[in-house]
Chain A
Amino acid sequence: MLKVENVSKVFRSGAFGGKKKRVIQDVDFEVKPGEVVSLIGESGSGKTTVGRMILRLTSVSEGRITFDGEDISALKGASLKAYYRRVQGVFQDPFSSFNPIFKVGRVFRTIRREFLGDLDKAAWEERLSGALNAVGLEVAALDKFPHQMSGGQLQRLLIARALVLDIRLLVADEIISMLDASTRIDVLNLLGDLKRQGLSIIFVTHDLALGNYISDRIIILQKGVIVEMGATDKVFGDPQHPYTRSLLDAVPHLHELWSEEELKDLGLVADTARFGGHLIEHRENHLVRVYS
């Protein structure tokens, strides 16, 4: 369905944009219908940039991204609108996605005006209550102001906003990082239910436990390069790349304590980045970057 083919991103920096900085290097993966793929990495790994390129919020420098075989960079006007009918994003801070002086229902009216103008009132209301139902909210919630709702509720509203459009792919960029443990799990369970109904999700996160809970496949990014990818149980169950291992070691567990040396080890994970190398198939559905 969605294919990211050898995509690179180069940002220009410095005075007059004379310097170039490559933040994404040959990223290549595919998302199938009903699949949850997690993009995992530290800050600066480029995971958000990949999500933004898929949403066309940032252009692709090299390579291409296709959706159902169509290159998304060529879309404009009506065809771009049709793309956004199928692909939507939800971001980290739900409070900044709403205008605080309007009631939250406004985002739904905007969606209707922009995308679903042809729907009559009854059909629209049915669709709206269906989407709100799916996220466990009632229509009455639309009459509230953003400050009257919790972060988890706002985040669920934003997911409902995407669902109104019958989307097929949701790009969820750190959508639960700002939420409490108890609300986190509500939103994660919601994503799991939506996946069962056939929605594909790209789940961008730095939290490996959350990625593990929800995803079918994991992509580990280090400094814009995929170092390991594959089925969740394979990548997390038997990680091959040292970077994946060090990330997993840094995840705190409730029942398994770090030793004193481990806790006080200040080795800088990001500094172990190596350039070059290529991905090889370690086994079925498990790719690892090797350096020769």
Chain B
Amino acid sequence: MLAVSDLKIHYRTLAGSVKALDGVSFSVADGEIMGLAGESGCGKSTLGKALIRLEERMQYVGGEVRLDDKVLPIADDKAMNPYRFREVSIVPQYAMSALNPTRRIGRMIDELLDARGLKGATLRPELERRLAILGLAPDVLGMYPIELSGGMKQRVVMVLSTLLDPSLLIADEVTSALDVASQKKVAGALVEFRDRGYVKSMIVVTHDLAILAQVADSIMIMYAGKLAEKAPTRTIVEAPAHPYTRLLLGSLPEVGIRFEEKRLPGIKGRPPSLLSPPVGCRFRDRCPLAFGKCVEEPPFIEIAPGHQVACWKADAHAQG
């Protein structure tokens, strides 16, 4: 189980520090697939990356991350090494760039395992078994990445990332670059691996709420470096309490909705700059419900079991 408390990560830039993650607390239970959604720049990818490896310009400012009751030393690049791949693993957005184009896939995987002090050959049967679960023949190990489609590469990387049964898997926009058919297969693969216990908990980072509605147990919505809402998937989809969540859901063109008949509204404006974020609720400039009290920052509080929201008007609107 993963527990994050008050995590703060900033980006160093010439203009000052960008508060990409500004005090985020949540937990993910064993066996839970948590979806993490929001617009670009809301901090969702920063959160995903922070749990496994801080990039050079990312600066740890505060907070604690505990995985299975051990503190993850995320601020210490070297101390994190024993945890990476074994305890925390990631499937990056572009699987194509995660595979070495000059190596056959099997050889690349062997080299990678050897570098980690594991014997590639001993893990080969398990590797082949898991590839088969995701509908990939062992032949793919003899192929070069260029011979596989985007969806197949994504699944190969998924098998590789989870080969050591990590406790936490971060799937960063894994379906975004794929067409619908491959998207569905990758989504199914995530659930399959959770059900088989290869991964205990998962954070699926994406801007595609429809995919999350299918695979996630809970969904967490971020806005401008803060948490806006977290709830079980059905609650987020059927009875969202935060106005931002509602607008986000309202801007999805589902099959069956036509421009001619029903023009979807979208969300006016853009997220605020995180160099000097506004005081109070960060969504208030774009929010149709904003009122005087929004100049104070709303706390992220539980309005129903498992349903947390940061909005002064959340209670009044939780029903509607």
A: residues with CB less than 8 A from B are: 41-44, 150-151, 180-186, 188-189, 192, 206-210, 212-214, 232, 236, 246-248, 250-255, 257-258, 263-266, 268-270
- Contact between A210 and B209 (Cβ–Cβ < 8 Å)? no
Indicate whether B264 reaches chain A with its CB closer than 8 angstroms: yes
The CA of A184 and the CA of B209, in the complex, are separated in Å by 14
Interface residues on B, range: 35 or more
Closest CB-CB distance, A98 to chain B, in whole Å?
17
Knowing A43-B150, A209-B255, A263-B188, the reply to whether A253 touches B210 (Cβ < 8 A) is: yes
- Contact between A263 and B191 (Cβ–Cβ < 8 Å)? yes
Indicate whether B24 reaches chain A with its CB closer than 8 angstroms: no
- Contact between A181 and B40 (Cβ–Cβ < 8 Å)? no
The CA of A213 and the CA of B150, in the complex, are separated in Å by 26
- Contact between B208 and A181 (Cβ–Cβ < 8 Å)? yes
- Contact between B251 and A250 (Cβ–Cβ < 8 Å)? no
- Contact between A185 and B251 (Cβ–Cβ < 8 Å)? yes
B: residues with CB less than 8 A from A are: 39-40, 134-135, 149-150, 178-185, 187-189, 191-192, 207-211, 213-215, 237-238, 247-249, 251-260, 263-267, 270
Q: Inside 8 A of A269's CB, which chain B residues have their CB?
A: 181
Q: List 17 A-B contacts (CB under 8 A).
A: A43-B178, A150-B40, A182-B248, A184-B253, A185-B251, A188-B264, A209-B210, A212-B253, A212-B258, A213-B257, A252-B183, A253-B213, A254-B209, A254-B254, A255-B237, A255-B238, A258-B214
- Contact between B214 and A182 (Cβ–Cβ < 8 Å)? no
The CA of A210 and the CA of B254, in the complex, are separated in Å by 8
When C-beta atoms are compared, the residue in chain A nearest to B149 turns out to be A43
| 5 smallest beta-carbon distances between A and B, as pairs | A266-B135, A206-B179, A213-B253, A252-B210, A192-B259
Q: Inside 8 A of A186's CB, which chain B residues have their CB?
A: 266
Q: Inside 8 A of A207's CB, which chain B residues have their CB?
A: 180
- Contact between A252 and B214 (Cβ–Cβ < 8 Å)? yes
Q: Inside 8 A of A246's CB, which chain B residues have their CB?
A: 181
Main secondary structure of the interface of A (DSSP, over half): helix
The CA of A263 and the CA of B183, in the complex, are separated in Å by 11
- Contact between B179 and A42 (Cβ–Cβ < 8 Å)? yes
Closest CB-CB distance, B191 to chain A, in whole Å?
6
Q: Inside 8 A of A210's CB, which chain B residues have their CB?
A: 253
The CA of A250 and the CA of B189, in the complex, are separated in Å by 14
The winner among B181, B192, B267 for most chain A CB atoms within 10 A is B181
- Contact between A232 and B258 (Cβ–Cβ < 8 Å)? yes
- Contact between B258 and A43 (Cβ–Cβ < 8 Å)? no
The CA of A189 and the CA of B191, in the complex, are separated in Å by 34
- Contact between B187 and A252 (Cβ–Cβ < 8 Å)? yes
- Contact between A254 and B237 (Cβ–Cβ < 8 Å)? yes
The CA of A212 and the CA of B262, in the complex, are separated in Å by 12
When C-beta atoms are compared, the residue in chain B nearest to A270 turns out to be B181
- Contact between B180 and A180 (Cβ–Cβ < 8 Å)? no
- Contact between B255 and A264 (Cβ–Cβ < 8 Å)? no
- Contact between A180 and B39 (Cβ–Cβ < 8 Å)? yes
